[in-house]
Amino acid sequence: MRTIIEPFRIKMTEALPITTRSEREALLASAFNNVFLLDADHVTIDLLTDSGTGAMSDRQWSALMLGDESYAGSRSWRRFEQTVREIAGFKHIFPTHQGRAAERILAATRLKKGNVVPNNGHFDTTRANIEYVGAVATDLPSTEARELQSEKLFKGNMDLGKLEQLIEAEGAGNIPFCMLTVTNNTGGGQPVSMENVRSVREILNKRGIPLIIDACRFAENAFFIKEREQGFADRTLLEIAREMFSFADGATMSAKKDGLANIGGFLACNNDSWADDFRNLLILTEGFPTYGGLAGRDLEAISVGLLEALEYDYQRYRHATVEYVASALISRDIPIVRPAGGHAIFIDAAAFCPHLRASDYPGIGLVNALYLEGGVRAVELGSVMFGKPAPGGGEEIAAPHELVRLAFPRRVYTQSHFDYLIEVLDAIGRRREAIPAYRITEQAPFLRHFTAHYERV
């Protein structure tokens, strides 16, 4: 059969709120034109994030009942540890309440002021945790990543030449670890090839620099490797994931993505003395090392979810859904990052709104148009999220791209929901020159996109 179907059927439903345009106009105004400040009850199709928004399977729901809530040494912890080790193989595994808790512990214990951390693309919380301790987060995406329209297969790769240059310039002693984010979320959800992981490892080996994988979407990355990289077509996703992790000294993970869970994460490493530091801080801020900020039942749900994310039919359907929407948008002349990412489609808001400058925040304009037109919620990854204040004041430094992300929650929306999304974007696309500029009227010093207030210019 040519039709790739959802490899599940629906056993429980959740009503979607349907609103009118005039209701949405009033709701967005009272949220200061920031969709993060809307009540979810007022959002019809929520594509804000694929994080923690997935639907759990019947096997996960039944695993919840097996949760052992013992404070120390629970059965659920053992199962969690075994599952993570089966996939990723690390010696020390620490559960955390989500990915950023793992990042915080890693940054706080390993970094000093002035240290540099290379990454193919830091996610915003990773960058913020590194900068919070006074270190520098440096993105080294491949040159192909900058060509938004080119159909290269592994645009999430790290630029190896730039990595070598950075190590030369900084000295290995100032780089306590290097990170690789699979898939590269901020770079468009693009995958990293096994060859690139291996080459990064070889470069780091020469200078004794550890490699940490930001593994949020490790299963989606494994799927891309299987489909696109020579020599992997006959390997299972589990085997591919294992090989990928075998090149790393540790990992940070948000189980809210490829853990197919609503909360959770982990930090892992092989080094015993790193593990001591992680454990001590974990106890201080997350919890005892056998639950780390999670309930026993969460550990159970994640253990099942991590393996379900590696099921080939699931990944195949997920990717087919993203491709279905991507090709519909391309045929409607809506500029998107190509190829489509693993968990999301990224619209090039700068190309979509040529009448707006970066300082007009075209991404916010498009995000707000999506809400007003159809009650769809998306997120800006552009100059609000990544823009920087200019050193001497004046107009801020724009982000390299003005993207809007349509993230795909896992196993949540059906094809007709995506047909609706395509129709909404089609309508906006026909009147794109009507998208207004926005300016910020209030902002926080860190991660301002979450709480900023905007007004139309």
Query: Smaller CB distance to ligand F0G: residue 156 or 436?
Result: 156
Nearer Cβ to ligand F0G, position 215 or 425? Answer: 215
Query: Nearest approach, Cβ of 185 to ligand F0G (angstroms)?
Result: 4
Widest CA span in the chain: 61
The answer for residues whose C-beta is within 8 angstroms of residue 143's C-beta and 6 or more apart is 159
φ, ψ of residue 440 in degrees (nearest 5):
-85, 130
φ, ψ for residue 120 (rounded to 5)? -65, -35
Q: How far is the CB of 255 from ligand F0G (least distance, A)?
A: 8
Beta strands 136-139; 116-119: pairing state: parallel
Cα torsion for 411, 306, 51, 120, to the nearest 10°?
A: -120
For the CB of residue 216, give the shortest distance to ligand F0G in the complex, in Å: 4
Percentages of the chain per state (helix, strand, coil), in multiples of 5: 45, 15, 40
155 vs 432 by CB, closer to ligand F0G: 155
For ligand F0G, the closer CB: 94 or 436 = 94
Answer whether 371's CB lies under 8 Å from 41's CB. no
Burial class (CB within 10 angstroms; exposed 0-12, middle 13-18, buried 19+) of 392: exposed
Asked whether the beta carbons of 130 and 136 are under 8 A apart, the reply is yes
Nearest CB to ligand F0G, comparing residues 122 and 432: 122
Taking the C-alpha atoms of residue 190 and residue 299, their distance in angstroms, rounded to an integer, is: 28
Helix (H/G/I), strand (E/B), else coil: 259 = coil
What is the nearest approach in angstroms of ligand F0G to the Cβ of residue 79?
A: 21
Q: Which 3 state secondary structure label does DSSP give 164?
A: helix
Residues that bind ligand F0G (CB under 6 A): 49, 51, 98-100, 123, 125-126, 181, 185, 214, 216, 254, 256, 265
Q: Could you tell me the smallest distance in angstroms from the CB atom of residue 204 to ligand F0G? A: 20
Least separation in angstroms between CB 52 and ligand F0G: 7
Q: For residues 189 and 339, which CB has a smaller minimum distance to ligand F0G in the complex?
A: 189
Toward ligand F0G, which CB reaches closer, 101 or 240? 101
Q: Which residue is nearest to ligand F0G (CB)?
A: 99
Q: What tokens appear for 60 in the block?
A: 């996960």
Q: Indicate the residue among 87 and 302 with the shorter CB distance to ligand F0G.
A: 302
Q: Which two tokens stand for residue 199?
A: 């080459």
**Assigned token pair, 334:** 């809506």
Residue 54 C-beta: closest distance to ligand F0G, Å: 12
Nearer to ligand F0G, 102 or 336 (CB): 102
- Separation between Cα atoms, residue 404 and residue 362, nearest integer Å: 9
Closest distance between ligand F0G and the C-beta of residue 50, in Å? 7
Q: Would you say 184 and 139 are in contact if contact means Cβ atoms under 8 Å apart?
A: no
Residue 196: which H helix or E strand, with range? Answer: helix 194-207
Minimum distance of ligand F0G from residue 90's CB (angstroms)? 17
What's the token pair of residue 236? 């299972």
- In this structure, is the dihedral angle defined by the CA atoms of residues 347, 228, 100 and 186, taken in order, positive or negative? negative
